[in-house]
Structure 1
Amino acid sequence: MNSKVFNVRVYGLLINDNNEVLISDEQEYGFRFTKFPGGGLEYGEGLIEGLKREYMEECNTEVEIISHFYTTDFFVKSAFNDSQIISIYYLVKAVSDLRFATKTVVFDFEGEGDVLQSFRWVKLSDLTVDAFTFPTDQYVADLLIKSI
């Protein structure tokens, strides 16, 4: 029997008072990519719980979910393994002070290591699909652009 694996991911679209959305530049094992903050659901946790955990881990910021924004409705194969990606995106708002540094330059990492991350605010009016690496983030960016 051929067993296929699903990889469930959850992301938060955090938009500030200046109409800017938070995006994440990352490097893992030599591969650089830009995406929305969030990541993989852990076994045993729900979507909301997973998204709140991801924001605490990545941004050291507590978020509250405002509303569902998008769930993957087309096939996406992982860039890292043979799993099928299912991504759920929520609009979120910060309920604690923002406790992370932001940059203005793409891939402006501090420190060394196999896993690096930095954040940038991008004006919704300046957002482009091409800014994102993965197809689902590109699709969501397009939806965001069309919604403004």
Structure 2
Amino acid sequence: MYNFNVRVYGLLINDNDEILISDEQEYGMRFTKFPGGGLEYGEGLIDGLKREFVEECNAEVEVISHFYTTDFFIQSAFNDSQIISVYYIVKNISELNLNIKTKVFDFDGEGDVLQAFRWVKLSELDPEEITFPIDRHVAKLLITQL
């Protein structure tokens, strides 16, 4: 039997047309992605996204609109599950109190699980700098649709 891994991500764009990007280190690898993560059992997509933003960014968000749902097969980089990712345009409804970085993988401290956030101008967003194929596809869509 094959498992599905449902993931939900927020595309947070500020007033300067910059999108929030998450640089992370986990499972012995580094990756760049949009904020969000895996849905927990019993959770709806929007509730899961709101939880992820509180956990990762210590911020509450409001979902503005659906942007994209995976429409091609992709296997997880971490196990044998099939990834289904849902992306929403979000707006923060509480202040972002993040230590925003300007360099890629500019982590504070050391450890097995690290995360840092950057604002990237939409006009300078390079899909090839995003790690995972679905996120890369969404970055391309962002560039052409927004």
1:30 deviates by 1.9
What is the SS of the residue equivalent to 1:34?
strand
| Residue deviations 1:68-103 (CA, integer Å, cap 9, x gap) | 000000001000000000000000000001111110
TM-score w.r.t. the length of structure 1 is 0.97
Residue by residue, what CA displacement relative to the aligned partner does 1:95-140 show, whole Å, maximum 9, x if unpaired? 0011111100000000111000000000000001111000000000
* Letter in structure 2 aligned against 1:32: R
Task: State the identity %.
Answer: 74
> Could you tell me how far apart the structure 2 residues matched to 1:108 and 1:30 are?
16
Deviation at 1:29, TM superposition (A): 2.9
Pick from 127, 130, 146 the counterpart of residue 129 of structure 1.
127
Q: 4+ residue runs of structure 1 moved beyond 2 angstroms?
A: none
In structure 1, distance between residues paired with 2:76 and 2:51: 22
SS in 2 for 1:45: coil
SS at match of 1:10: strand
Matched residue, 2:106: 108
Secondary structure in 2 aligned to 1:44? coil
Distance 2:74 2:102 in 1: 30
Indicate the residue corresponding to 2:94 in structure 1.
96
CA-atom RMSD, angstroms?
Answer: 0.6
Aligned residues: 146
> Could you say what secondary structure the match of 1:25 adopts?
strand
